[in-house]
Amino acid sequence: MRTTTEPHSDTLRVHKLEIWRGERCLIRDLSFRASLGEIIHLKGPNGSGKTTLLRTLAGLTLADDGEIHWFGRRYRGRVGPEARARFRFVGHHDALKGGLDVRENLRALNALDGGSIEGIDAALAEAGLAHRFGVPAQQLSAGQRRRAALARLRTSTADAWLLDEPFTSLDVDGIALAARWIAEQATKGMVILSTHQPLPQGLDARVIELGGAA
């Protein structure tokens, strides 16, 4: 990996990004910019590379070509720890350990991120899980697990959130809650999300269409 510090400004700049999986090119020649105060909605059919792009921006997957610029620093290949310290990624599948209760899960995840455990109980209560603090994650419903995974974001001061299908398994109230959290984050930071569902009312997002690679 090579990194270069730059003097400017955009929270994120993607330049001529190319990502292959086996013999298939998922993303080719993708370029865009994004700044604090924005919500970016990644759209495209199944297999168009939405999850792979989010994982690449999060430093979990290598790009085959092109550059990713996070917070004025340029990365070729894998995004480095300097950037990863300033965003949070929540994948389509939650990262909760079934044998740990929701408090223990969020404490463990925040410890991995180098974050604080302050505010975990308040975030879980806000997510409607105050009565489930001591319940092992494996006994929670899919919607409750999703609420717990998203509640972790409320304990973070990260500049950017990267969210893969954040509304999956949520009921109407859960979707409204997640949408409110996303809107609040966008007043001070940035959110990049993928979803097959229509965006909840009130979320003003810029759309990036994927699926043009062959």
pTM for this model (two decimals): 0.90
Q: What is the pLDDT along the chain (214 residues), one digit of tens a residue?
A: 444 444 345 699 999 999 998 889 999 999 999 999 999 999 999 889 999 999 999 999 999 999 999 999 999 888 988 888 899 999 988 889 999 999 999 999 888 776 667 789 999 999 999 999 889 999 999 999 999 999 999 988 899 999 999 999 999 999 999 999 999 999 999 999 999 888 998 899 999 999 866 5
Tell me the angle at which helices 172-186 and 142-154 cross, rounded to the nearest 10 degrees: 20
Establish if 41 belongs to a structural domain: yes
Specify the pLDDT at position 9: 55
Domain range holding 105? Answer: 37-60+81-209
Q: Which residues contact 145 (CB under 8 A, 6 or more apart)?
A: 94, 96, 137, 169
Q: In 17-55, which positions are buried (b, 16+ CB within 10 angstroms) versus exposed (e)? A: bebbeeeeebbbebeeebeeebbbbbbbeeebbbbbbbb
In this structure, are strands 160-164 and 190-194 parallel, antiparallel, or unpaired?
parallel
The answer to whether the CB of 74 falls within 8 A of the CB of 13 is no
Question: 180 in helix, strand or coil?
Answer: helix
Establish if 32 belongs to a structural domain: no
Establish if 26 belongs to a structural domain: no
DSSP 15: E
Residue 73's H or E segment, with its range, is strand 73-76
Establish if 111 belongs to a structural domain: yes
Establish if 29 belongs to a structural domain: no
**DSSP β-bridge partners for residue 67:** 15
Query: Between the CA atoms of 144, 146, 149 and 151, what dihedral angle is there, to the nearest 10 degrees?
Result: -70
Establish if 86 belongs to a structural domain: yes
CATH number (domain holding residue 106) = 3.40.50.300
Q: Token digits for 3?
A: 């990194």
Radius of gyration of the chain measured on its C-alpha atoms? 17
Question: pLDDT tens digits for 28-70?
Answer: 999 999 999 999 999 999 889 999 999 999 999 999 999 999 9
Q: Count structural domains, the chain.
A: 1
Establish if 30 belongs to a structural domain: no
Question: pLDDT tens digits for 105-122?
Answer: 999 988 877 666 778 999
Establish if 21 belongs to a structural domain: no
